[in-house]
């Protein structure tokens, strides 16, 4: 009769190479998807703000402060001094301007990371001489950072990018004269 022996059928399917090879692709996709979902849930990048529209409207106010710094001829130099025995580096700011400008007693320096909002720092700079200010960072910085120096009244500001690992100091000049005046929104 028709008796089929084990030798004529071959090996069972789980002992064959091809089913496992065909299943490896979808299994790899499931593992990669799970890892991606875990990364998305466990880390917050903080790049998108909820009030993006309000921030967009505030751009013209910030540009107006840049132009005020241009009118006053304000420029500055930021230098970091790492002191032995402390993990908080000291910042020194040298401020220069047109004659008649009265330097304030205090300045605010915003040190912002390009992608990680949680690393941002606000440094209060106190006058230690005419046009000379000092303050301490709350944590050491490394890599590229955005520096925004402004008076506490919010009338002017100077902005620049600095990588303290590569450059000894940061020059914060006023915006170039070719900069256009601020765009204002005149909506209803």
3-state secondary structure of 91: strand
If asked whether residues 20 and 102 sit together in one domain, one would say no
If asked whether residues 31 and 122 sit together in one domain, one would say no
State the residue range of the domain holding 23: 10-42
If asked whether residues 37 and 62 sit together in one domain, one would say no
If asked whether residues 18 and 66 sit together in one domain, one would say no
If asked whether residues 91 and 33 sit together in one domain, one would say no
Averaged pLDDT for residues 32-37: 96
3-state secondary structure of 121: strand
If asked whether residues 17 and 65 sit together in one domain, one would say no
Rounded CA-CA distance 89/140 in Å is 6
If asked whether residues 113 and 147 sit together in one domain, one would say yes
CATH of the domain at 67: 2.60.40
Number of domains in the chain: 2
If asked whether residues 36 and 59 sit together in one domain, one would say no
Position 81 confidence tier, pLDDT thresholds 50, 70, 90: confident
If asked whether residues 30 and 121 sit together in one domain, one would say no
Kindly report, residue by residue over 153-172, the tens digit of the pLDDT.
989 999 999 999 899 899 98
In the sheet that 132-136 helps form, which strands lie side by side, from edge to edge? 157-162, 145-151, 106-112, 121-129, 132-136, 90-96, 75-81, 169-172
Kindly report, residue by residue over 106-161, the tens digit of the pLDDT.
999 999 998 888 889 999 999 998 889 999 999 889 899 999 999 989 899 999 99
Residue whose C-alpha is closest to residue 175's, from 67, 57, 44: 67
If asked whether residues 31 and 115 sit together in one domain, one would say no
Residue 141 burial (C-beta neighbours within 10 Å; 0-12, 13-18, 19+): buried
If asked whether residues 129 and 70 sit together in one domain, one would say yes
The answer to whether residue 188 is domain-embedded is no
């Amino acid at each position: 009769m028709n008796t089929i022996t084990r030798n004529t059928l071959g090996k069972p399917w789980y002992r064959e190479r091809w089913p496992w090879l065909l299943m490896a692709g979808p299994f790899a996709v499931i593992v990669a998807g799970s890892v991606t979902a875990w990364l998305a849930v466990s880390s917050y990048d903080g790049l998108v703000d909820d009030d993006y529209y309000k921030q967009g409207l505030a751009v013209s106010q910030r540009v107006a402060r840049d132009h005020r710094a241009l009118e006053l001829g304000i420029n500055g130099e930021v230098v970091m001094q790492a002191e032995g025995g402390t993990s908080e580096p000291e910042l020194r700011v040298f401020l220069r301007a047109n004659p008649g400008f009265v330097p304030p007693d205090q300045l605010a320096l915003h040190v912002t990371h390009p992608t990680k909002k949680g690393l941002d720092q606000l440094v209060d700079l106190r006058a230690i001489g005419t046009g000379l200010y000092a303050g301490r960072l709350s944590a050491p910085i490394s890599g590229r950072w955005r520096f925004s120096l402004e008076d506490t009244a919010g009338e002017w500001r100077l902005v620049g990018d600095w990588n303290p690992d590569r450059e000894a100091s940061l020059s914060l000049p006023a915006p170039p004269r070719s900069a256009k005046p601020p765009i204002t929104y005149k909506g209803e």
